[in-house]
Amino acid sequence: MAEVIKLVLKCVRFPRERVGWALIQQTSKFSIFLFSIFSCCQVLAQQPMVSNIQCQYQVYPLGVEDASPRLGWQIKSSRRNVMQSAYRILVADDKALLRQDIGNIWDSKKVISNQSIQVVYKGKKLQPGKEYYWKVMVWDNQNAASEWSEPSAWQMGLRGRKDWKGAQWIAYAEMPDSLRIVPGIHGTGNPDLGLGKDILPLLRKEFVVKKTIKRATVFIAGLGHFDLRLNGEKVGDHFLDAGWTQYSKNALYVTFDVTGQLRKGRNAIGVMLGNGFYYTPRERYRKITIAYGYPKMICRVAVEYSDGSLENIVSDNSWEADRGPVTFSSIYGGEDYNATLEQAGWDLPSFDDKSWKKALVVTGPPLLISQTAMPLKILDSFSVKKILQPTPGIWVYDFGQNASGIFKIKVKGNRAAQIIFRPAELIKDDGLITQDAVGAPVYFNYTLKGEGVESWQPQFMYYGFRYIQVEGAVPMGEPNPEGLPVIIGIESLHTRNAASEVGSFSCSNDLFNRTDTLIKWAIKSNMASVLTDCPHREKLGWLEEDHLMGSSVKYNYDIASLGRKVVKDMINAQTADGLIPDIAPEYVHFQGGFRDSPEWGSNGIILPWYLYEWYGDKQVLTESYPMMQRYANYLLKKSTDYILSYGLGDWFDIGPNNPGESQLTPKGVTATAIFYYDLTILNKVAKMLGRERDAKNYEATAAKVKAAFNKTFFNKETKQYATGSQTANAMAVYMELVEPQYKNAVVENIVKDIRARKNSLTAGDIGYRYVLRVLEDNGRSDVIFDMNSRSDVPGYGFQLAHGATSLTESWQAYRFVSNNHFMLGHLMEWFYSGLGGIRQAKNSVGFQKINIYPEPVGDVRSAETDYVSPYGNIYTKWKKEDEAFELHTGIPVNTTAVIYLPASQKSEITESGKSIANRNDVKILKYEKGRVLIAVGSGEYQFHVGAALTAAP
């Protein structure tokens, strides 16, 4: 009966979730009883309900290093216009205490506040490695109290070397200093450097657990990457742990809960190591030359017993080491695996390791910090769509999708037989793969052990590919006169950062849906430990993409923790004179604009501000402020009369030559506009942090930059900036460099240029986002529709028409550059904010104030969009038929919204079938520019507009 009561309560509180209602109705013999229950539930349904409670952006984070973690939650309610008025948090170090509603570590008591994100922990000092349990309850604006949330937990990380309890870095061998190549320490190296042949080791340790285990945790860092095994099984489902950093300054460690994998008695822990960015061997393709050292590892296993005692097993010279079956490991060039070198049971207790040698104690990075960003994981797979045989002895497998990842094979053949696997994005006319555009040679070599069906997948390298060319084996069922190994199965495994998906979009326009998918695959393929430019040729964290594409990415994925990791990378990469280089981590010192370009380095100022706007993270501003200041000072010193005229400019714009550095827009325009934008952000940040003198200084400097910019680049007669390019005019408008009296004319010049080019674009990596933003902000989404609806000129449709399955590096879909690049995917932001209409209101943080502004333009007749904001899910679903317009929308609890309906003052407007006139739950604000503005609180709304007038351009 209790389950029936719960089901009734759910149906009353959340009418969209009608699961089981029919079942309840069928139980007619309980109808009178259920009526009584239903009446009680109606009262209970008025209560808010807390859900999705998080610590540091995660539901159950391990390795939390912040001494005062940030807590947050979302609220659900069946009522409208619900705001939080108060909250109470309990934190305990024992589950039983929390069940008794006792917070022995922190009881916030009832706090009068509407804050439900970024709530700072203010309890007792948190101890390293310890687990804490918590829950929260809230009161709404009618003083109705929720029940306690479901409990959750977090586990603290290790704050300093003393918390590692004597653990040491260990390795199979240590690289001689004469072979090391570390940017900024050893220079870029000479041809003789990087010749060391490293051993990819196995490390193992056996230990005895004597008592009943309460909890067991592993803290581990392995460079470049590690696979952790315990009692014969892999620990966790991560890929390429840990994330890459500037190893001369720090390394990341990862925390695992292994309570379920340890057992009383003898246990064995094993670690495999690969090179990653810690060492790039010179064999095969490599984008950069770097050698911090040979692979190494540090580890602490913390075992907490039921009697309260604690035991630590740490890495030291008591561990055993030997060569592993991975014989070559390059993050760029590939990976080789010799299955004949496998040692069965090496990660199990009682393995005979007498032939192994003692691990060598070595030095490691000076600082260990917790990996708080989500790890990489295998998150999708693709089966073979087609098998080609372009020439005898060579087979090409087509998986149909260009994506980042690895492949997995099942194969059968003779011992010591070798198979070569060559991944690629493209194939040539003759059917063979080509790696010419992304660096060659890249391949994987697998040596069979000859024991039945063997399964293998790379462990320490990933690549962007659609095709795999196989040499030395045949597909199952094909003639095999030479007795080669037989490929029984092969699949493509997509790997990426495991950030939660928070958005979805679809509409009635098929081209836009396919464009959304095209961009999304580029985003997914470049979400790694950093946001990369491409998943093959470079795999580097080029910084301009973070702030230019971040607004698109954040609609799809929760990148709060990944964004903070990027910020830390930039802090580590900043030079003594204040430069933030174009890439972070900076594994190589590029030359000229490829190291120092303001549009790239300004990510150090823009991204922290965006993270604050998107997620309400003020802490990131406090931590970043010194970096932001130093970079602004650096740019000021580099300027001449407040103008910056260097860098890469509007990279890959469409000009008369092959794409590269800016062709249509002077570099001074993009660099100086970004500089001005930096200063306006710093002015706001300084005020927030109580740095009034700094704020006034940035405001004054910004005014000087603005005056110099307009004097140098603005033509008052033509109302154009510089060359009149789409990028030049759009950046001036977006950054508010243009004087108000000229703004409309400059916007109109952007439109005229697009129309004169028959609705085609010219802006590149730097400028295109600002073109879209300016057009959307100024009511010209019709132009955005027109310029992105073509397939016969360079753009998204052109790429799709030429067979792209992931966004390409060039608008022209050239084969001689990358065909998996996400730097030009800015249209995705418009899909959500324009067509979908989900926008954050000005001066709002974390989407607490929302504008719903759907754009029924062109031939788009319907669209459906979801975005899970920090406060909860925002959704829109609209349909246009003839002159009628319908909008269904959902606004999360603890937020408010303004609905911009396309309508005239004479339109008949209803919500849930009733007129919106004289309503308390919806309030008409005003009519403007073909829209009626309606203020609403949280809840679900169904608007219908009769005889709607599309918003005028």
Domain ranges of the chain: 49-156, 161-373, 377-497, 503-835, 852-946
Pair 143, 135: CB distance under 8 Å: no
Pair 170, 298: CB distance under 8 Å: yes
Model confidence, pTM: 0.94
What's the confidence (pLDDT) of residue 179? 86
**Extended strands (E) in 331-477:** 334-338, 357-358, 360-361, 368-370, 376-382, 386-391, 394-412, 418-424, 426-427, 433-434, 443-447, 454-456, 463-471, 474-475
Is residue 151 exposed (0-12), middle (13-18) or buried (19+ Cβ within 10 Å)? middle
CA 869/CA 852 separation, integer angstroms: 14
Query: Dmax over Cα atoms in the chain, in whole Å?
Result: 89
| Amino acid found at 345 | G
What's the confidence (pLDDT) of residue 193? 53
What's the confidence (pLDDT) of residue 907? 85
Domains 49-156 and 503-835 share a fold: no
Name the CATH code of domain 503-835 (choices 1.50.10.10, 1.10.10.10, 3.40.309.10, 2.102.10.10): 1.50.10.10
| Amino acid found at 102 | I
CA 792/CA 799 separation, integer angstroms: 9
Pair 803, 791: CB distance under 8 Å: no
Pairing verdict, β 486-497 and 474-475: parallel
Q: Which CATH architecture has domain 377-497?
A: Sandwich (2.60)
Pair 647, 598: CB distance under 8 Å: yes
| Amino acid found at 492 | S
Beta-carbon contacts of 936 under 8 Å, excluding residues fewer than 6 positions away, are 80, 81, 891, 896, 897, 898, 899, 921, 922, 923
Pair 167, 282: CB distance under 8 Å: no
The sign one gets for the Cα dihedral 594, 598, 599, 600 is positive
Q: Domain spanning 161-373: which CATH class is it, in words? A: mainly beta
Distance of CA 91 to the CA centre of its chain: 30
CA 930/CA 901 separation, integer angstroms: 8
CA distances from 111 to 85, 139, 668, 732, 921 (A): 9, 10, 51, 45, 27
| Amino acid found at 552 | S
CA 536/CA 285 separation, integer angstroms: 10
pLDDT means over runs of 10, the chain (953 residues): 45 42 43 50 73 97 97 98 98 98 98 98 98 99 97 96 97 91 60 64 97 97 98 98 97 98 97 97 91 97 96 98 97 98 97 97 97 98 98 98 99 98 98 96 98 98 98 98 98 98 98 99 98 97 98 98 98 98 96 98 99 98 99 99 98 97 98 99 99 98 99 98 99 98 98 98 98 98 98 97 98 96 98 98 98 98 98 98 95 99 90 93 93 97 78 40
To which CATH superfamily is domain 49-156 assigned? Answer: Immunoglobulins (2.60.40.10)
What's the confidence (pLDDT) of residue 191? 43
Q: Which CATH architecture has domain 852-946?
A: Sandwich (2.60)
CA 533/CA 234 separation, integer angstroms: 30
